[in-house]
A and B are shown apart, each in its own frame.
Chain A
Amino acid sequence: MEDKSNENPLRQGMRLIRTPQPCTLIIFGATGDLTRRKLIPSLFSLYNQSLLPQNFNIIAFARRPKTTEEFRRDMADGLKEFSEFQIDKNPGLDRFLSLIHYHRGDFTQIETHEKLKKFLQKLEDKKDGQRNRLHYLATPPSQYDSIIKNLGTAQLARNENGWTRIIIEKPFGRDLQSALELNKITGDVFTEDQIYRIDHYLGKETVQNILVFRFANGIFEPIWNRRYIDHVQITVAENIGVEGRGRFFEETGILRDIVQNHMLQLLSLFAMEPPSAFDANAVRDEKVKVLKAISPLSRQYIKNNVVRGQYAAGSLMAKSLSGYLQEEGIPDNSITETYVAMKLFIDNWRWASVPFYLRAGKRLPKRVTEIAIYFKDAPLQIFGDVTEGEIPANVLTLKIQPDEGISLKFDSKVPGPGGNIRPVNMDFRYGTSFGESPPDAYERLLLDAMIGDSTLFTRSDENEKAWELLTPILHYWQNNKNRVPQYNIGSWGPKEADDLLNKENRAWRRL
């Protein structure tokens, strides 16, 4: 049945957070870390806020031999570690755990999907017979193909008595070719409005606030363009290394892991034109237009404007740490990047000739994600004598994590007779303006998927455009076996990344 809630006159002005219809969430690969760290704690949080529907079930589908009781115990342990709620005396815990059912099986076998179907129907029939189903692929991407095909063959991709949706975890492909293939496989079984590609960055309040900041405030939009903005720096820095996921990371690299999804999402939200409405397709249409407007990257362009790096052994916070090549599972001759920096241009009316500098890396000095907007200098420096022409640019920073907020750096007179000028910061922090901490991104995204709102999920064309942009870099690196520039653990990246900006009389923001 098609959701026409926007046209329902009784929906006007409804302020309640919508609760989903009764449904069953089927987690494929439920014994993995994602389920224990993120999915179950988020669902428990929704449960505690009465945001889960009545008659809600979770089917944990995995290969490992386990009973439902054992799995529930594992999840209870996980909740103790990862839930924001007090677990020991929580009266709802047992009731929540009773919603979880373990189903063992091999994803590659059609028989296990047939069994899953019977199991689902039995569960649904016990509870009023509604057949609303949300499949969640929390498996390694290599298993997506067989799971999706088997869901189709077992007729678990749609049914007459309810909706069926599928959430797919990133990465959505390894390059353009594989992304196209994955979209084809998914598209053969599910329609696009059934597919929810999850990038948890979009569930973060601060990321959503980029749109509110831009389009709910009248003062920023007039200066949000090439006339006033000199350049933009987007940083996603991690202080951790590969953390035991060396083999996975070796196959992935930071470009695929962070830039293709999180960073391009941030970039497109930052740079998009105002959508005609705040609905799924209007917002995503505008985001795709940004990706389409980014100049294609030629080999020569990549050589001059894209930098990669690998962290070398060093010390961070008084702790000696191995370099990337010494991490477990990493070959000595690895060319996988743990750092990337690049300059991009968006060739449209608003952003022509404004450089967007992107950098992402592991084992950098701190964990921080932000967008820093550098404004152009005042047209004439009349305070030349006191400043010697060195007045720092105004910088507006959208801080995504960890100190979520917005900060504006501007210049001010230092009190006293000297007339010196010094930059000062004006800060807005979520923590001091809103008492409660923002919910985990997965909470919001799981709820949206159950309700059927795909605004914060990635559409196939967005994903393909992002791969189309970055695949030439992957090819260039593959064909260029030179040693990857090293950077010290705890530094802000290789020298080459600094040079990228320094040659244009700019510098990375010190964070």
Chain B
Amino acid sequence: MILPNNAEITGIKVKLSEIEKKFSDIWKNTTGDGRDKAVVKASTLNLIITINDKNQYLNTLNLIPEVTFHNPCRIIMILINPELDTERITSYISAFCQPPRQDGVQLCSELITLETGNAGINHLPGILLPLLLPDLPVFLWSPNNLFLNNFKSQDFHKNIERVILYSPETIDSIDELYKMAGYVINASETSKISDMTWARLTGWREAVARFFDFQEREQYLNNISKISIEHFSKAVSTHAYLMAGWIASRLDWTPVNSPDNKRHHFIFTGPSGNQIDLFIKKAPSDKNDQCLSKVEIQSLVQNRIITFSAVQAKNNIIKTIIKDQNSEPVYNYIQNAQPDNARLLCYELDFIKKDTIYIEAVEKIWQIFNENKRETVEIY
């Protein structure tokens, strides 16, 4: 059995139509006369989580205390069990309470779990919408991207403020990555999309951006001739391509066809017609838990080569080095602590607006592959 049996699902089993009444009873009993009046139901948002795997269910349950600590909310967890040959939806409710604070107040969040088989997916929008707390933002977290495949209801989409994906950090083939980029671009037309894999790149983006915070360096930014991105992934690194897509989209580079059949070398044209060579390759060392090992940017200004390197160092540090042949190297360091999934999710829940920078980076990846197409792939 892929999903936990009923006994393993957290909460009290209740009829769908009685969810609100049962919650209301719980809160009345908790805060009513003679009870501890310091218990407070708190909600700042609605969080829908879609999963279809037993381990993921348990892992997700483990995240909930931290997520609700930082963002008291109503969580609606949807378990789609492909082995359940039914469209019936079973519902459970429970509450997550934080330890009492110094002032004696104890904040609690609500968890609703809905379990169904694939056949029940079409019913979900009609069930979810009434369960959302009014006037609070709705986030959908789809750690295994079930969202992309399953929730096609427009009514549902327009009620979601933000969809948080967790795209695979390693993808088996370039064409899979191309396909995923297509998915995200399509989905972004109806929803605001963000991606925890993208969020994990933030430290690297900061390191690269910081090279060009000073006016004196602008000329180097405009005269980049070569970029090399090294990663630890054994197959196709989503991080490396997102990094490339991000730089190319921000600097308005246009991909052109590259003769490299292995697709490790890509060519762009800059706004002033200059050529930029991009190399994506595996790092020489073994894979560790970091996404990238190095990003190196070369600029050619007045016959001088300036190299900007960001290198993964020990203790979650990215070391940056600026080498100019006419002066001493300049070093800098960026903390790149990789937060756990709970912190990363909390971080994503702080933002509501559309992450256009991410979408434009993905669009650039799509353009790169479109320009360097070697075979036909279906775009969804």
Which residues of chain A have a CB within 8 Å of any CB of chain B? 1-5, 7-16, 18-19, 21-22, 50-51, 53-55, 128-130, 431-436
Chain B interface size, under 10 / 10 to 19 / 20 to 34 / 35 or more: 35 or more
Chain B residues with Cβ below 8 Å from A433 are 42, 44, 72
Interface flag for B356 (CB, 8 Å) = yes
> How far is it, in angstroms, between the C-alpha of A367 and the C-alpha of B358 when the chains are bound?
46
**The residue from B213, B334, B337 contacting A5, defined by CB atoms under 8 A apart:** B213
Given contacts A14-B205, A15-B351, contact A3 B42 (CB under 8 A): no
> How far is it, in angstroms, between the C-alpha of A151 and the C-alpha of B363 when the chains are bound?
53
Classify the secondary structure of B's interface with A: mixed
State whether A10 touches B247 (Cβ < 8 A). Answer: yes
Interface flag for B69 (CB, 8 Å) = yes
Task: Type the 1/0 row for B114-146, where 1 means its CB is closer than 8 Å to any CB of A.
Answer: 000000000000000000000000000000000
B98 nearest CB neighbor, chain A only? A435
B211 nearest CB neighbor, chain A only? A10
A1 nearest CB neighbor, chain B only? B214
Classify the secondary structure of A's interface with B: loop
Chain B residues with Cβ below 8 Å from A3 are 213-214
**The residue from B44, B101, B213, B335 contacting A11, defined by CB atoms under 8 A apart:** B213
Most chain-A Cβ atoms within 10 A of its Cβ — which of B213, B251, B337? B213
B335 nearest CB neighbor, chain A only? A50
State whether B105 touches A12 (Cβ < 8 A). Answer: no
B44 nearest CB neighbor, chain A only? A433
**The residue from A10, A12, A13, A18 contacting B208, defined by CB atoms under 8 A apart:** A10
State whether B107 touches A130 (Cβ < 8 A). Answer: no
Interface flag for B103 (CB, 8 Å) = yes
**26 CB < 8 A contacts A-B:** A3-B213, A4-B215, A4-B218, A7-B218, A8-B212, A10-B209, A10-B251, A12-B357, A13-B356, A14-B205, A15-B351, A16-B202, A16-B205, A19-B334, A22-B333, A50-B335, A50-B337, A53-B333, A54-B317, A432-B72, A433-B42, A433-B44, A433-B72, A434-B71, A435-B68, A435-B71
State whether A431 touches B103 (Cβ < 8 A). Answer: yes
> How far is it, in angstroms, between the C-alpha of A433 and the C-alpha of B136 when the chains are bound?
12
Interface flag for B250 (CB, 8 Å) = yes
State whether A4 touches B44 (Cβ < 8 A). Answer: no
Given contacts A55-B333, A130-B331, contact A435 B70 (CB under 8 A): yes
Q: How far is the CB of A255 from chain B (nearest CB, A)?
A: 33
B328 nearest CB neighbor, chain A only? A129
Given contacts A3-B214, A22-B333, A436-B70, contact A8 B98 (CB under 8 A): no
Which residues 314-333 of B have a CB within 8 angstroms of A? 316-317, 328, 330-333
**The residue from A1, A14, A435 contacting B209, defined by CB atoms under 8 A apart:** A14
Chain B residues with Cβ below 8 Å from A50 are 316, 335, 337
Which residues 65-81 of B have a CB within 8 angstroms of A? 68-72
State whether A18 touches B206 (Cβ < 8 A). Answer: yes
> How far is it, in angstroms, between the C-alpha of A391 and the C-alpha of B118 when the chains are bound?
59
Chain B residues with Cβ below 8 Å from A11 are 209, 213
9 nearest A-B pairs in the assembled complex, by CB-CB distance:
A54-B333, A13-B357, A10-B209, A50-B335, A5-B213, A4-B215, A435-B69, A128-B331, A50-B337
State whether B206 touches A14 (Cβ < 8 A). Answer: yes
State whether B215 touches A22 (Cβ < 8 A). Answer: no
Which residues 224-239 of B have a CB within 8 angstroms of A? none
State whether B250 touches A9 (Cβ < 8 A). Answer: yes
State whether A431 touches B214 (Cβ < 8 A). Answer: no
Q: How far is the CB of B231 from chain A (nearest CB, A)?
A: 19
Chain B residues with Cβ below 8 Å from A436 are 69-70
Chain A residues with Cβ below 8 Å from B256 are none
**The residue from B203, B212, B358 contacting A16, defined by CB atoms under 8 A apart:** B203
Interface flag for B25 (CB, 8 Å) = no
Chain A residues with Cβ below 8 Å from B69 are 435-436
> How far is it, in angstroms, between the C-alpha of A8 and the C-alpha of B70 when the chains are bound?
32
Chain B residues with Cβ below 8 Å from A15 are 199, 202, 347, 351
Given contacts A3-B213, A50-B316, A432-B42, contact A10 B107 (CB under 8 A): no
> How far is it, in angstroms, between the C-alpha of A320 and the C-alpha of B353 when the chains are bound?
55
Chain B residues with Cβ below 8 Å from A5 are 209, 213
Q: How far is the CB of B273 from chain A (nearest CB, A)?
A: 18
Q: How far is the CB of A95 from chain B (nearest CB, A)?
A: 10
> How far is it, in angstroms, between the C-alpha of A2 and the C-alpha of B215 when the chains are bound?
7
> How far is it, in angstroms, between the C-alpha of A90 and the C-alpha of B42 when the chains are bound?
31
Given contacts A15-B351, A431-B105, A435-B68, contact A8 B213 (CB under 8 A): yes
Q: How far is the CB of A320 from chain B (nearest CB, A)?
A: 28
> How far is it, in angstroms, between the C-alpha of A1 and the C-alpha of B205 when the chains are bound?
21
State whether B101 touches A431 (Cβ < 8 A). Answer: yes
> How far is it, in angstroms, between the C-alpha of A431 and the C-alpha of B101 when the chains are bound?
9
Interface flag for B355 (CB, 8 Å) = yes
State whether B335 touches A10 (Cβ < 8 A). Answer: no
